[in-house]
Chains A and B, each alone.
Chain A
């Protein structure tokens, strides 16, 4: 890398860092106010029927809901930097950090991470193969199959899998991340049980992700195939695999970096519908439940975390491009 490029790059990275921080601040501000202008009042769920008026007041007091909105905002920012995201309304009094990270975060990351990874690998391989056999049986076949999985409603697919594989065939469990009520003999037993429970949601999510990834990959490979350097590689008498994986794929992968960056927040937010269908206790389900319960602190916590991940992954993707595509210089 030339000296000139290095300087330009360092400047670019610095600018992006500043941008990222500014955007992040914008988001945390928005994150606070968006819930205040949303219809619905958390007191509705916090305060069950049959609560005498005094108790209603007491509960509002406990969560600072009686304070003016400006004061609430200042408290939110101050507490944020102390690592305190407040207490959950619906998990009465539990710190939000715990509600999010104790186990739900991991359930989601493991499930989504695995399915996105599998989807990416399959989509990339199938995309390359389909593009290289354009209009042949394998291309038409896989494109049709993935278009179908792509357009299938996730909840329907989930229910079908639950019904046929969970209920009729009894090969996957109907709910949860582990077998309920058993004591696991050891960690391997636990992992095996967990993975078994993950099968259903994993298949649904992988199928739902794969189509989009595949189409992008196939398109991008087809685009690369029209490039002169591919013709050059053919003329050089390289093996087809070397052309596909050494030349076409590397270039076709560049757009995938953005796709992955865009999908990073999903990795965290989880797939609400799939998690609901399979009773998979992750952040998607938590988001849904918190939304139903008007649990602002938890929603705020999730959104904050999501926004942070989104902003960061975009930043990382931009930096990654610098290294993956040598043409980019700043």
Chain B
């Protein structure tokens, strides 16, 4: 199965905490272990100083419980027209929702007036509080700004905010808003807008994205350009969530209407989509296209991490349903790239298309794992099989990840050994959490020692304690015996019958 990574590793909670053993929750493995829960809670509530050690412990806990075996990250094999260069190479890929840099820095050797992104299905919702797919999210990123962003090593960097600070215990975060930023309608972005946005998220309906984190906010305040958030507990990833997941929204547009008002999804209402992002909403025809144009007064030049306005004058998202059609559209110049990377045989199609470049050597967000349902047991063998840690450990030893990448992704992927893999989260990865090395001898020894033996010699191991069943009866013998009995019976009946008659 596969998961998707966000730019900061809060996924151990989703995947391994017993809270998430809910229908369609993130923990389908049904790992229900109080120790692991506690380690994850410590990790999520670690102060900046404690975070690395807490992350190490969570990784080690996974290694010694094995709800799933990390296998590999697929590569971001994106197809893009060859004239485009200077996109930003970041873990996750060139077109993720946490990579606004690509949008700003990318440039064409031919024509920078328009970049067309082909989508396989349309943007679901325009309202940035409720994006439900990465497609919508990526559109939100063009039109709205977050306070912070990530550099190429997934460290937080200033974005709309020019600085941020976290108190030593981690319960207070200060964002310093950049001066001179403007909304698309020309009004200034005020620190009050930021404060408004925080509370707008917090006071929204519970299905607003990241709503639960916002509930830990006890108070907010503004002092000059500084916005302060106070929380009731330390949360390791609060700066990431408030800084990179929350879009700053204009109070003068949003103020009077509820968070889920229909106008925020209405393509005919231009003002409803006012943001401060590098592009402003222009027009949209559902299931056809969405067009945004460069915002000339964007704050980019004032931010040393950006230092410029975007090179591209306009972005258009076009709906082109089939993969074949999208490749043709890119080759024809109707589109420049597509939302997701190409898979399977299409990789070669792109490699063979002279107009296109295949982005390689970069991990995508998609994380492939071998997951176990830990509660499944064979009747009569409680605690054995998949629910037996020794079996999972043996499997972990037995897996050849290089082979999987070759077969599953035609070589376009990279192995992952920890649940917080180095390729994606260099700063929080710890080698202690690396899963069991690939070694089939060890794997076989573990199973032998645990009593999983192949008693009947058919190449498949049996559960411990299974004895050889008695050999199956010889069918030929039974057949002969039956035939003899039948003949004797007939002969006897014949004579009895004759005696009666006689």
Contacts and interface: CB of A to CB of B under 8 A. Distances in A.
Q: Tell me, yes or no, whether A binds B.
A: yes
Interface of A: 41, 43-44, 46-59, 62, 90-94, 102-104, 159, 162-163, 166-167, 170, 173-178, 180-181, 183, 275-279, 281, 285, 289
B289 A170 contact: no
User: Which of A94, A159, A181, A281 has the most C-beta atoms of chain B within 10 angstroms of its own C-beta?
Assistant: A181
B331 A92 contact: no
B365 to A, nearest CB: 11
B318 A48 contact: no
Contact of A279 (B10, B212, B325): B325
Given A54-B211, A175-B319, A181-B318, 4 more contacts: A50-B26, A170-B332, A175-B334, A278-B321
Interface string B319-351: 111101100110110100000000000000000
Interface in B1-42: 3-4, 6, 10-11, 14, 19-20, 22-26
A167 B331 contact: yes
B206 A54 contact: yes
Nearest to B213: A52
Given A53-B22, A177-B288, A279 B321 contact: yes
Interface residues of B, number: 50
12 contacts: A44-B24, A48-B132, A62-B207, A93-B265, A159-B324, A167-B331, A174-B334, A175-B325, A276-B322, A277-B324, A279-B322, A289-B121
A102 B288 CA distance: 14
Contacts of A93: 125, 130, 260, 265
Closest 6 CB pairs of A and B: A281-B287, A180-B289, A58-B206, A175-B320, A43-B24, A279-B321
Given A43-B24, A58-B206, A181-B316, A285 B321 contact: yes
Interface of B: 3-4, 6, 10-11, 14, 19-20, 22-26, 114, 116, 118, 121-122, 124-125, 130, 132-133, 205-207, 211-212, 260, 265, 283, 285-289, 291, 316, 318-322, 324-325, 328-329, 331-332, 334
Contacts of A279: 319-322, 325
B328 A163 contact: yes
Given A166-B332, A279-B321, A279-B322, A56 B25 contact: yes
B130 A174 contact: no
A58 B208 CA distance: 10
User: Which of B10, B114, B122 has the most C-beta atoms of chain A within 10 angstroms of its own C-beta?
Assistant: B122
Nearest to B119: A279
B288 A91 contact: no
Contacts of B124: 90-92
Contacts of B205: 58
A9 to B, nearest CB: 46
Contact of B130 (A92, A275, A289): A92
Contacts of A104: 287
Contact of A46 (B19, B116, B132, B287): B132
A51 B23 CA distance: 12
Given A176-B318, A181-B316, A56 B24 contact: yes
A145 to B, nearest CB: 26
Contacts of B23: 41, 43, 56
B332 A175 contact: no
Given A55-B206, A277-B325, A180 B288 contact: yes
Contacts of B211: 52, 54-55
Contact of A175 (B14, B26, B121, B329): B329
Contacts of A281: 122, 286-288, 319
A66 to B, nearest CB: 10
Contact of B288 (A44, A46, A178, A277): A178
Contacts of B318: 175-176, 180-181
Nearest to B321: A279
Nearest to A170: B332
A114 to B, nearest CB: 19
Contacts of B25: 53, 56
B97 to A, nearest CB: 12
B272 to A, nearest CB: 15
Contacts of B325: 162, 174-175, 277-279
Contact of B207 (A53, A59, A102, A162): A59
A125 B161 CA distance: 71
A49 B207 contact: no
Contact of A277 (B319, B321, B331): B321
Contacts of B207: 55, 58-59, 62
A93 B124 CA distance: 10
Contacts of A55: 206-207, 211-212
B321 A175 contact: yes
Given A43-B24, A50-B14, A174 B329 contact: yes
B22 A56 contact: yes
Contacts of A276: 321-322
B328 A54 contact: no
Contacts of A47: 24
Given A55-B211, A58-B206, A180-B318, A162 B324 contact: yes
A174 B6 contact: no
User: Which of B25, B122, B207, B328 has the most C-beta atoms of chain A within 10 angstroms of its own C-beta?
Assistant: B207
A41 B324 CA distance: 29
B355 to A, nearest CB: 11
A281 B116 CA distance: 19
A57 B19 CA distance: 12
Contacts of A166: 328, 332
Contacts of A43: 23-24
A41 B25 CA distance: 12
A90 B124 CA distance: 7
A54 B320 contact: no
Contacts of A275: 321
A151 B322 CA distance: 22
A180 B212 contact: no
B403 to A, nearest CB: 27
B482 to A, nearest CB: 47
A43 B24 CA distance: 7
Contact of B289 (A58, A91, A162, A181): A181
Contacts of B286: 102-103, 281
